[in-house]
Structure formats: structure tokens, C-alpha cells
Amino acid sequence: MNIKYCLRNVTTIFLLFLLSCKKLVEVEAPINQLVTETVFKDSADATAAVVGMYTSMMQFSTTVNFASGAITIYSGLAGDELQTTSTNAAVMNFHANAVSPENSLNYDLWRYAYEIIYQANACIEGLSASESLKTSVKNQLLGEAKIIRAFFYFNLVNLYGGVPLVTTINYKKNAVMPRNSIDEVYEQIVRDLKDAESTLSSGYVTSGRLRPNRFTANAFLARVYLFQKQWVNAELEATKVINAGIYNLETDLSNVFLKTSKESIWQMPPLQSPLGLAECRQFVPLGTAIPVYPITEFLRNSFENSDQRKLKWLSTRISNGFTYYIPFKYKLRTSSTADEHYIILRLAEQYLIRAEAKTYQNDLGNAIADINTIRRRAGLTDTTASSQLNILSLIAHERHIELFCEWGHRWYDLKRTETISSVLAINKPAWQSTDALFPIPFNEIQLNPYLIQNPGY
């Protein structure tokens, strides 16, 4: 990875946020001295450094990056959720499952992820070394930084497979790191999330659910354990969130993605009011403009006719006499009051995680109860599925419909259930099993001779 580039951007972002908080620091110090000896002596500066990561994640509301729409869009194109009317070759290659190691958008995914991982590492090192911060402040900030690092590694390992596990800001060491195994990356993710669970409180430190609390760690752990097929642990963590007494499913689907959503566990606001979220601006065109990312016919036909999610979370646009269906979970291209927040974790997923974990443990009755909770909210009748195989098939369907065009859920689910080739080969004649992983960017392999490319590239 381009270590010098990452370090330069980390330094810039730290300084911009400290300046925005009207707390000046010396800029001549090297990054390790800046972080360890200066920023983390003062709680306001330390908080600003951690909050800076959220701003880096969202970047600008007019463009997409790793954490503000890119994962949703590129995995949706590579899978069976989205098609594109774009003539941009880099975009079209995702839909054709022909992503080149030189693809600029793929490079941006990798680069932005490691930029923020560097920020998280800098915060974790600085906070851990600080002897002046209050324990409560230090614990909160450490927990947030570790959740952010876990978030990026979770997505990286599902997009690329094993990746370099960078956990320090030692650029000499990091510049020649090989790829760690998938298991090693997941071990680090679990460590970070369990550390966060132990240091974060159950309450939120903001008026909204913008900075993680302890249940954010539990919700993320539930997802990670599901991917690792640790059914008992997945059920346990999901139950902690469901029984927390803080979260409730929204009865009106139109409220799920608002900043006031009762089922939101972790969310982030748009940064450039009155502009809406970047993902919304990519999906929802102005006027009669042709949508750039309409959904596929396969996704549209996957909804049951009476499913309220089809009515509330899809919309149509007519252009040149042709009707396009678009994702419409986020509806506001502009909003002076930032009514929509970008939801990273929400309660509905936890019910589906628990249902799947219970099914694999042969607790079929309780699994069905969780599935029906989601189906009833969508205006559907209770399921008649009764066998383990049929219930698992229904859960896969409900995850597809409930979580469509959100954070790569469909793409990741097809891979973890080992059904990706059998499903995508039907509608994608050029599909190869090696397309399930994106390529390591060529620029990174040039910089680090220890990086090995994924098969098929």
C-alpha cells in the first residue's frame, strides 16, 4: 500500500479537524510524535482526532467512496442487484465481472480503506499511550477507533480475501507486509470488537446514534460470528442487541432510514448540507434523467407482490419512454436539515442473523418467529416453511430483500453461503469463480513485492 500517501493524508485530516475545533497543534512533528505526544494529551483534541475518522469515511456528499456508497454500488454491480447505464469503463467492468488490477475505482476502494485504518491505528496508539486522559474518555475513544478498524477490515476481507493486517503506524514495517490469511484478519476483527464491547457504555455520547456504543460492537460481532459459522455466538450477540431495550423496528418502512430511526444502531450524517447522502445522489436522478444504477430485473422480480419493501424502498423513473426501477431507501437528494442519515447497522439485520443461527442449531420454532417479525413488518403473511432447508432458503430470500443495496450484503452472502457461482452464472455467462474476489490494485503490488495477486488476475 502507498504508505507515504496514507501518512500524508492522515496528518492532513488530523490537522483539519483540530483546526476546526479551534485547537491548534504544532505541524512540524512527525506523525507518531504528533499523535502520541500532542493530540492525545487533551480530551477535546483526542475526540476531534477520532471524530475526524467519521468525516474521512463520509468524505464529500457529491461523490462515493469506500464508506459512502462505493461498497453498495460496486458489489451490487458485480452481483445481481444493480445494472448501469454509465459509459465509464471502470464502472462497467464491475458489472461485467472484469475488474482489472488497474481499475481506478478498485484502487480507490483499497486506498481509502487503508487511509482510515491508518487513522484508526494512530488513534489507538496515541490513546493507549496517553496518561493524561480521563479513563472514561480514553475508553470511549479507544472503543470507537477499534470498531472503525474492524469495520474496514471486515469489508476488505470480504472484497479481497486475505489482506495485509496493518495495526501500527510503523511505515517501514507496513510497507513490506504480506497478505494475512482470512482467518487471521477475522481474529483481529473479533479482538477489536470484543475490546470495544468491554470499553464502551450502553448509551450514545451524541444526541443521535452517530458514534458507536457497546451494542454497536455486539451487532457487529453478531455479523462476524455469522460469517464464521459460530452459530451460538452469533445468536448470543444478536440477542444482546434485540433485548437491549433501546432499539425497535420501525412500523412504517418510510422511517427506517431517517436520522430519527428507532432501529438504527450506527449511522452517519451527510457532511455538506443541504446535499443529501452520496449514495442517494447516485441512485436517485434529477427529473427525467436516466438513472445511472437501476436495479436488475432479477432483483425486482424477487419481491413478493404485497411486500411493502417493494412499494416503499423502490421507485420508478421514466426516461425516453422506458421505465427504470431504482433503489429508494434514501430519498432526499437535498435536505437542509439532514433528515436522512447513512445507516451502517440496524436492528432488522440482527433478527435475520439470529434466525439463521437458531436454524443451524435446529431451534426452528424460534427461528421462524424471528423471520415472521421481519415479514410482518413488510406486510407479509407468516411463513409456512418448516424444514431446516426451507427455512434457510427463506432466510436467504429475506436477507436479499430486506438488505438489498446496503453495504454489499447480497454479494457477501452469496460468497459466505458458497452459492455465488451457481447463482450468478445463470445471468452472467462470462462469470468465473475467481470473480468472487476483486483484484489487489496493481499500484499496490508494484509498491510492495510481498503482495500476491488474487487468482484469475
3-state secondary structure at position 272: coil
Q: Which residues contact 438 (CB under 8 A, 6 or more apart)?
A: 74, 78, 99, 106, 109, 159, 160, 454
Percentage of residues in the chain with pLDDT exceeding 70? 91
Tell me what pLDDT residue 33 has: 40
72-126 pLDDT per residue, tens: 999 999 999 999 999 999 999 999 999 999 999 999 999 999 999 999 999 999 9
The class of domain 1-200+418-451 in CATH terms is mainly alpha
Which residue type sits at 452? I
**Cα separation of 136 and 201, whole Å?**
9
Nearest to 160 by CA among 78, 53, 266, 278: 78
308-357 pLDDT per residue, tens: 999 999 999 999 899 999 999 999 999 888 899 999 999 999 999 999 99
Q: Which residues contact 394 (CB under 8 A, 6 or more apart)?
A: 371, 383, 385
Taking residues 380-393, report their average pLDDT: 98
3-state secondary structure at position 301: helix
pLDDT at 8 over 50: no
Strand partners, 324: 317
**Cα separation of 383 and 391, whole Å?**
9
Tell me what pLDDT residue 416 has: 98
Tell me what pLDDT residue 103 has: 97
Which residue type sits at 242? I
Tell me what pLDDT residue 30 has: 35
pLDDT at 26 over 60: no
Distance of CA 132 to the CA centre of its chain: 33
Which regions of 99-182 does DSSP assign to beta strands (E)? Answer: none
Give the Å distances, CA to CA, from 420 to 202, 423, 435, 436: 37, 5, 10, 7
9 near 171, Cβ under 8 Å? no
pLDDT at 11 over 60: no
pLDDT at 19 over 60: no
Quote helix, strand, coil % in the chain, to nearest 5.
55, 5, 40
Span between the terminal Cα atoms of the chain, in Å: 18
DSSP structure class, residue 262: T
For cell 457504555, name the residue. 201
**Cα separation of 178 and 196, whole Å?**
27
Nearest to 344 by CA among 407, 280, 256: 407
DSSP structure class, residue 264: E
3-state secondary structure at position 84: coil
**Cα separation of 23 and 161, whole Å?**
40
Phi-psi map region of 277: left, alpha, beta (phi>0 left; psi -120 to 50 alpha): beta
pLDDT at 4 over 60: no
Tell me what pLDDT residue 355 has: 98
**Cα separation of 433 and 423, whole Å?**
11
295 near 367, Cβ under 8 Å? no
pLDDT at 61 over 70: no
Neighbours of 81 (CB within 10 A): 25
